[in-house]
Amino acid sequence: MSDNNRDILDYNRIDDDVTFVKGVGPRRASVLKKHGISTVYDLLLYTPRDYIDRRNITPINQLTPNTKATILAEVESYGMKFIRGGKKMYIVNVTDKIASLELIWFRNVKYFEGLFKEGDLLYISGKTSRTVFPQMVHPEFEFLFKGKEPLHTIGLVPLYPTTAELKKISLDSRGFRKIIKSALNKYIDALPDDLNPRIEKTANLISHKDAISLIHFPKTHKEIASAKRRLAFSELFYVELLLALQKRRNKLLRNGIKFKKAGELVSRLGKYLPFKLTSAQRRVIKDIFKDMNSPRVMRRLLQGDVGSGKTIVAALSCALAVENGYKSAVMVPTEVLAEQHYINFAKLFNRLKIETTLLTKSSRNKNEIYEKLKSDKECIVIGTHALIQEKVDINRLGLIVIDEQHRFGVRQRLDLISQNQRADLLVMTATPIPRSLAMTLYGDFDISIIDEMPPGRKRIKTLLAQEGSEHLIFDKIFDYAKRGEQVYIIYPLVEKSEKIDLRAAVDAYEKLKKTTVGKFGIGLLYGKMDMAEKSEVLDKFNRGEIKILISTTVVEVGIDSPKATLMVIIGAERFGLSQLHQLRGRVGRGESKAECILKLTHPPSDIAKQRIQAMLSSNNGFEIAEFDLKIRGPGEFLGVKQHGFPNFKFADITSDMELLRQARESAFQLISEDPKLELPENQTIKDYLRKRFRGVFRFADTV
């Protein structure tokens, strides 16, 4: 039997169109598809957001006014009643043989005519009215029939996410309960297993079928916890399985470039450096060079806090590739950062007579650069997304360095890597990735950390300035500039309010020019300036002709002036935590003490308060990253929300570390024992992987 036929036989029912479910016609199906529910399987994974606890039956004589309760009672009488203004209400009187309760409906009263008869048994859930006589207005109810379990009024009742559009087709929680119960009844036996029995037993998990059933209709909170744990484990397991497969693939991939060991060029570059490398930098360089000396393709993630010296590590790595007759490409997210890297690299490599090239969308001599990159001659090219345009063909590319990787989409990285699969890859970030996220996303990478700051770097003192403290900030700016030190004043720039935000920065520039600080030289920098204008401003700042630089967040990375000792962030409540930490890292790069002032312009939200507090309490990028991950979640944290990052519904990698450890251990052990998933006991895992994660393989190859 072919693998394709196996897919059809194993999955033809669970992947039926959602219209195969009782209660879902073409109209409902159309709306459900807009909400990501196209198949039966999609519907079964549409899980509750919460549960109402209706497990306890309350006797009518124990009801108290204005409380929620569940009742089991028998219909005594019923009928329509006219009230003032010609309006109607429908009343049903029920009893539990001890006391009576009045049920009242004011809306859709015609629906109830002919619905009840004396002696009907009802489960009733609702809120009692404030009257002394027991009443419930618009309660939920279900008839009690033999062999039919109630869905809405008894037990732990699931509440489903819904929208106005879904409610229009009666798919509120009540509607979803009906169609999901119908789907479970018909399709639960067709639900494929996604783990083997050994893994389930080792990790103490319930079956996949039980987990799906219990997540929708549990009897106890313990069952909910068991179902969530099982489904969370599966999510984590398959991400780790993909990483385990990729790591094995990387180890087997021996058609990479085996660079010779570092020689004269690397040695001379090291001697030209105006500082000594830290022990952490030397350790990391040793790791990278060892990878590059191997015939296997390097996949290494380099983490280091702001100012820890990642750029020089990248430069030395590029030198090794060039020394072996290959090109190196450094891709960065912004033109300002590309320009800064180009200036820094050119200073280092010009002395070695190694050509350095800059390629951005603003480059004027693009055709000349394209031809240069096609040639056999070694060089270093630094660029933005322009490096991944169709016209770019980099011949003999030996090393790819991606800086500030979290600011690129996964597919953008893929485009550069897929065209140059033999090239070694060094991914760098100054936004440290917490261990849980690194295990989840970079489990197939080797990881290096620069955990030591250059000598002389001091802790940056961080202060909070409330509204009304402008004169104090002005005095501080004046004092710093007077001492010959440099100051950044940063304004937020948000797409929705870009014109207003930019106007605030320009206004501040014009205003300060006319004050006593104007004599120290003031510059203005923002993203949409012409590259030549940006370069002129940055050159003047680097030469010290400008002491005060007013800017938007284009200086978040890449600007490096040792005389910059004061950072003032205006509207700090509007910045993300990672941004605030990156901005703060622009100062204190020399021997002088440095300060960062967080200036509030509006009352901060609760989350903004937490971000500000984190900045005030820590200078450690890893601590800040852990906190940032908890606030924003993994997709937004890494900038891959729309680019294939696993969208966990059940797993929480900030709190499920032990479950993640178990899932990782199981996945890597499985691939160690059965690399191609050929054993019969692993066939279900292989089938599930191919069927459910086919679109993620491409993602797994790029991270």
Per residue in 411-450, pLDDT (tens digit) is: 555 555 666 678 899 988 877 676 666 666 666 678 888 8
Dihedral class, residue 386 (left if φ above 0, else alpha if ψ from -120 to 50, else beta): alpha
For residue 212, what pLDDT is reported? 96
Architecture per CATH, 56-153: Beta Barrel (2.40)
pTM > 0.85: no
Q: Which residue has the tokens 């100012």?
A: 307
Amino acid at 374: K
Question: In 430-497, at which residue ranges do the beta strands (DSSP E only) sit?
Answer: 446-450, 461-465, 486-490
Q: In 463-546, which residue ranges form alpha helices assigned H by DSSP?
A: 470-482, 498-513, 531-543
For 179, phi and psi rounded to 5 degrees? -75, -30
In CATH, the number for domain 264-450 is 3.40.50.300
If we measure between CA atoms, which residue out of 407, 436, 440 comes closest to residue 641?
A: 407
pLDDT at 70: 93
For residue 268, the one-letter residue type is R
Q: Which sequence spans correspond to the domains of the chain?
A: 3-51+162-227, 56-153, 264-450, 461-618
Q: Which residue type sits at 143? A: F
| Model confidence pLDDT, tens digit, residues 143-195 | 988 667 788 988 999 999 999 999 999 999 999 999 999 999 999 988 888 99
DSSP state for residue 402 in the 8-state scheme: E
Domain 461-618, architecture per CATH: 3-Layer(aba) Sandwich (3.40)
- DSSP for 245-301 reads HHHHHHHH---S--PPPP-HHHHHHHHH-SSPPPHHHHHHHHHHHHHHTSSSPPEEE
Q: Is 310 helix (H, G, I), strand (E, B) or coil?
A: helix
CA distances from 249 to 57, 288, 437, 668 (A): 58, 19, 21, 13
What is the CB neighbour count within 10 angstroms for residue 484?
A: 12
**pLDDT for the residue numbered 240:** 86
Residue 356 CA: distances (Å) to CA of 58, 425, 461:
80, 19, 37
Residues 6+ apart with CB under 8 A from 148: none
Burial (Cβ within 10 Å: 0-12, 13-18, ≥19) of residue 119: exposed
- 15's enclosing H/E stretch is none
Pick the closest to residue 73 from 63, 85, 88, 84 (CA basis).
63
Give the residue ranges of the chain where pLDDT is below 50: 1-12, 409, 556-557, 639-644, 697-703
Report the C-alpha gap between 472 and 600 in whole angstroms.
Answer: 14
| β-bridge partners, 677 | none
Distance, CA of 508 to CA of 512 (rounded, Å): 6
Phi, psi of 214 (to 5 degrees): -75, -25
Evaluate whether 264-450 and 461-618 have a shared fold.
yes
Residue 18: the pLDDT is 92
Selection from 70, 57, 51 nearest residue 214 by Cα: 51
Output DSSP code: residue 219: S
- Classify residue 562 by its DSSP letter: T
